[in-house]
Structure 1
Amino acid sequence: MDETANGLCHIGAMTNCDTFFEEAATLLGPRGITNDTELVEPWLTDWRGRFTGRACAMASPANARELSELVRLCAKHGVPIVPQGGNSGMSGGATPDDSGRAILLSLRRMNAIREVDEESRRVTCEAGVVLQTLHEAVEAKGLRFPLTLGGKGSATVGGLISTNAGGSQVLRHGSMRALVLGLEAALADGRIFSMLTPLKKDNRGFDLKQLLIGSEGTMGIVTAATLKLLPAVAERVVVWAGLPSLRAARELLLHCEDSAGDALEGFEVMPQACLDAVLDHLPDSRSPLTERHAWYALIEVVADTASADTLRDRCETMMASAFENDLLEDAVLSASEAQAEAFWLLRESVAPAERARGPAVQHDISVPVEKMPEFVETTAPMIEAEWPGVEAVAFGHLGDGNVHYHMIAPKVKDALAWQMGPGKDISRRVHDLVTQWGGSISAEHGIGQLKREELVRLGDPVALSMLRAVKQALDPQGLLNPGKLI
């Protein structure tokens, strides 16, 4: 059987694939594997539409045992495996290549929340659990999982772990590396690595789960995890502040950290250009402040039950002190939960508003936290001067040194041609500058296939050799998510 134009490569086009499919179907049953075009094709393109691949089939095991046996079967027949959660990644890390040799491994059926331990404040759940579902389950117990992002309705726990996702609460709680207490994963030979039970102290050598967190499915396939929980937020105040510069935002951040301490949970920034784009994109939205400002900060401060009653007073004192010290030009505190959500909607709508403006090249970069204002103020004029008509826009998580650095194209007739031509040149320039400033070309979205060549070009040779050595040791056949990361 030959490859088809719809992205599926029928099993018979490969050596032993008829046998593989028969054995996989016997193992997984009718719900567990398919090569039906209508069922598979929607998952062969990443959600941003940048990468489209082919697959010989889509497998959907129901539990870790089935997954383990499937991986053993793939190893036996030499079938590559591309794990996929909610298909909401930003770097093409869950999309197969165009060879049609790989199976697309969907973890979405493995969606059980095994236990919510209220006393220990932790949850054990499977890889296919959707982030929003997890939030709702633990909130019903008076707890919360302190990581959220715009794609919470589709992103899965396994995907979040595999990409070491961040989000808007990293400032206080860290990325997934800090929130994963235990891990279960299928290795390339089908063995199950199981360290779900967390220990405060465990000095038996390497922290092996950290090899899998952020490895994008190239070292092992996450099947379940034990995650850290916190008491539910009893009260929160969200502040929208107008600022003259990004440097001023950095000074305000330091002031808020000193004033609010651990109560400070989020600190996001965006320029006026981003706000204008959002207001054009959301017809019923409006600016929280009357006057226009060069930059805006979105600040979230939270409290548990014990300190909820005094939170607003503390926030008002914090912002009054900021005014007295000329750290901002204007600010408004949310008066209700609905207004707090409205402020956050403006921030979360920046990316779709930018896409609506037209073609752009996006960069998820980080530099040392204290250098971010200087980096943006120095490099944005350089890019705009070197590519006339391009607009450099930075927004995001100033508190952890990570901003989304978008280069918006001038008006062009052929968006794809611009992205593949000048857009690629701009990205190389941005990545060169980030590297010169001691930063990272991927802060929270992963490498995937989007940035793999750039990682090879700019990565430290010693670090890259170590990554390859670990990959070779854990996946000698190279079957786990080939073509991604390394």
Structure 2
Amino acid sequence: MDRNSIVGVMRELVGESNVLDSAADIAPYLIDWRKRHIGVAACVVFPRSTAHVSKLLAYCNEHDIKVFPQGGNTSVCGGSVPDASGDSIVLNMARMNRIVEINAGNNSITVEAGCVLANLQAAAIEVDRIFPLTLGAEGSCQIGGNLSTNAGGTNVLRFGNTRDLVLGLEVVLADGRVWNGLRTLRKNNSGYDLKNLFVGAEGTLGIITSAALKLFPRPHATATAMLGVDDVEAAVAEGLKLQAAFPGELVGLELISKSEFDISLRHSEHARNPFSTVPEWIVLVELAASTGSDESLAERLTDALQPSFASGVIQDAVIAASEQQRAALWQIRHHVTEANGREGMGLTHDIAVPTYRIPDFVHRAEQVLARHYPEATQVIVGHMGDGNLHYIAMFSHEYWAQVHDKRRVQLELSHLLYDIASEMGGTFSAEHGIGALHVPEMSVYKNAVEIELMQQMKALLDPNNIMNPGRVLPAN
């Protein structure tokens, strides 16, 4: 079917105002926010209801039109933009953004997939609850995208990944059928747990249109601190001590290298250095408690840190004395991705290893980088509490512009680092997903039986391969 015919049919199905097709109008939806992945599509379609999505997919499935689902387009793996074929549509969920129901008594909230994460968080606060998923892109990412990539963020240590926050889903399958699994039950042992097929599937099996999610009581006390230590071993050891000292209250445990800290300060307009001298490694800690006050929780944290401070393991420490100071500390952490983009060309690797192996990984990776790519700087930021490190090889823009075979460099460096993680029982993709970027790694690092089972599931639910083709799974 030619491009004009596709556009015409899409307008008939969802209304003229819900379809964009001019080159200028669709351009922002065909490129990722880091401007590293660019695609082509006949048009961008904005459904306003599950019925719209159902009609669209039924038609596309019958006429072999590829569908590339899109939320806030904040993917870092090329999963939210179309391929280069041009005879496809982008299905953007931004106009399905309602908060359908919020039930404080049941600690649940039901929202449409296009609801921006920050708006969901704000709705929970209004009823004295929290939705604990939090990450740097929360002002623009949509919950459908968070679900489709099983997003992680800074609160995984206490609340788990997005998958752990899901009670039920509504999903439109590739042939247009609607599965309504919008239950808000905590216990339902009545067959296969279908919702988990679609969480983390990146839109390759169907379109999540709505989700029922868990809320939690809003903490009454919060304490936030930034610690400076000499080496990564001390950082991890201190983190493990804090996990033991504050079970159930430690919600954030972030690791930042000096190189990353400096970059964030250099390129974030409002970031301020809380230390007199920037340490080699920084640990960002946050506690949340259901009882007591901010002051009493901060005192407990201070007491727990005192032995390490007295022995010199902790060289410097800053404990936030107000919400403004807390926000200032998190500002440094949350703006690293944006700052890195300004600093240079950062090749980011979303690895995870068992927490106690973090120092081993860092040292081995540093040796690999120095040996193979001495032009790059090691830059690290990560969720230390769950072993997830964003290991970044930072090249200057000038150097990277001169690299002839950029894709070869990316693949070679990635496999050197992923080999280390794999040897440690780790993974090459902890929270960012697979997208188009990491499909080659699936065949290298995933078990053949695992790949075969996933391909069989794809063939069952999307036999015509119209849903986000070329993403997540290697071709049969």
TM-score, normalising length: structure 2: 0.95
- In the aligned structure 2, how far is the partner of 1:190 from the partner of 1:466? 23
Aligned counterpart, 2:469 = 482
Range 389-398 or range 90-99, more displaced: 389-398
Aligned-residue offset at 1:418: 6.3
Aligned counterpart, 1:433 = 420
The answer to whether the Cα contact below 8 Å between 2:168 and 2:184 also exists between their aligned partners in 1 is yes
Aligned counterpart, 2:429 = 442
Q: 2:374 aligns with which of 364, 367, 388?
A: 388
- In the aligned structure 2, how far is the partner of 1:91 from the partner of 1:218? 15
Aligned-residue offset at 1:439: 1.2
- In the aligned structure 2, how far is the partner of 1:215 from the partner of 1:275? 33
Aligned-residue offset at 1:95: 0.9
Aligned-residue offset at 1:128: 0.2
Q: 1:177 aligns with which of 155, 163, 185?
A: 163
Cα-to-partner distance string for 1:207-247 (whole Å, 9 max, x where unaligned): 11001000000011100001111122333111010111111
Q: 1:240 aligns with which of 205, 217, 226?
A: 226
Aligned counterpart, 1:332 = 318
- In the aligned structure 1, how far is the partner of 2:10 from the partner of 2:407? 39
Aligned counterpart, 2:27 = 41
Aligned counterpart, 1:419 = 406
Aligned-residue offset at 1:304: 2.6
Cα-to-partner distance string for 1:354-394 (whole Å, 9 max, x where unaligned): 22222221111111222112111222122212222222222
- In the aligned structure 1, how far is the partner of 2:339 from the partner of 2:44? 33
Q: 2:178 aligns with which of 180, 188, 192?
A: 192
- In the aligned structure 2, how far is the partner of 1:334 from the partner of 1:70? 50
2:248 paired with 1:262: yes
The answer to whether the Cα contact below 8 Å between 2:368 and 2:416 also exists between their aligned partners in 1 is no
Q: 1:160 aligns with which of 115, 125, 146?
A: 146
- In the aligned structure 1, how far is the partner of 2:186 from the partner of 2:328? 39
- In the aligned structure 1, how far is the partner of 2:313 from the partner of 2:123? 40
The answer to whether the Cα contact below 8 Å between 2:380 and 2:389 also exists between their aligned partners in 1 is yes
The answer to whether the Cα contact below 8 Å between 2:434 and 2:471 also exists between their aligned partners in 1 is yes
Cα 1:292–1:153 change in 2 (3 A) is: closer
Range 105-114 or range 297-306, more displaced: 297-306
The answer to whether the Cα contact below 8 Å between 2:77 and 2:438 also exists between their aligned partners in 1 is yes
Q: 2:452 aligns with which of 448, 452, 465?
A: 465
Q: 1:378 aligns with which of 361, 364, 381?
A: 364
Aligned counterpart, 1:73 = 59
- In the aligned structure 2, how far is the partner of 1:216 from the partner of 1:378? 32
Aligned-residue offset at 1:324: 4.5
Aligned-residue offset at 1:308: 5.2
- In the aligned structure 2, how far is the partner of 1:416 from the partner of 1:186? 43
Range 134-143 or range 317-326, more displaced: 317-326
- In the aligned structure 1, how far is the partner of 2:44 from the partner of 2:276? 53
Cα 1:227–1:189 change in 2 (3 A) is: same
Q: Structure 2 counterpart of 1:445, which letter?
A: H
RMSD: 1.8
Cα 1:389–1:413 change in 2 (3 A) is: closer
Aligned counterpart, 1:122 = 108
- In the aligned structure 2, how far is the partner of 1:306 from the partner of 1:392? 41
Cα 1:417–1:336 change in 2 (3 A) is: farther
The answer to whether the Cα contact below 8 Å between 1:392 and 1:406 also exists between their aligned partners in 2 is yes
- In the aligned structure 1, how far is the partner of 2:87 from the partner of 2:309? 61
Aligned counterpart, 1:311 = 297
Aligned-residue offset at 1:316: 1.8
SS at 2:399 equivalent: coil
SS at 1:218 equivalent: coil
Aligned-residue offset at 1:415: 5.2
- In the aligned structure 2, how far is the partner of 1:263 from the partner of 1:327? 23
Q: 1:32 aligns with which of 12, 15, 18?
A: 18
SS at 1:371 equivalent: helix
Matched pairs, number = 472
Range 47-56 or range 420-429, more displaced: 420-429
Cα 1:119–1:325 change in 2 (3 A) is: farther
- In the aligned structure 1, how far is the partner of 2:260 from the partner of 2:8? 53
- In the aligned structure 2, how far is the partner of 1:327 from the partner of 1:255? 12
- In the aligned structure 1, how far is the partner of 2:152 from the partner of 2:214? 14
Alignment of structure 1 residues 353-364 onto 2, 5 Å: 353-364=339-350
Range 120-129 or range 238-247, more displaced: 238-247
Cα 1:483–1:423 change in 2 (3 A) is: closer
The answer to whether the Cα contact below 8 Å between 2:167 and 2:186 also exists between their aligned partners in 1 is no
- In the aligned structure 1, how far is the partner of 2:274 from the partner of 2:380? 20
- In the aligned structure 1, how far is the partner of 2:125 from the partner of 2:241? 31
SS at 1:329 equivalent: strand
SS at 1:463 equivalent: helix
Cα-to-partner distance string for 1:252-273 (whole Å, 9 max, x where unaligned): 1111112121111101011111
Aligned counterpart, 1:216 = 202
Aligned-residue offset at 1:306: 5.3
2:47 paired with 1:61: yes
Q: 1:52 aligns with which of 4, 22, 38?
A: 38
Identity %: 35
- In the aligned structure 1, how far is the partner of 2:2 from the partner of 2:192? 43
Q: Structure 2 counterpart of 1:457, which letter?
A: V
- In the aligned structure 2, how far is the partner of 1:391 from the partner of 1:447? 25
Alignment of structure 1 residues 143-154 onto 2, 5 Å: 143-154=129-140
Aligned-residue offset at 1:145: 0.4
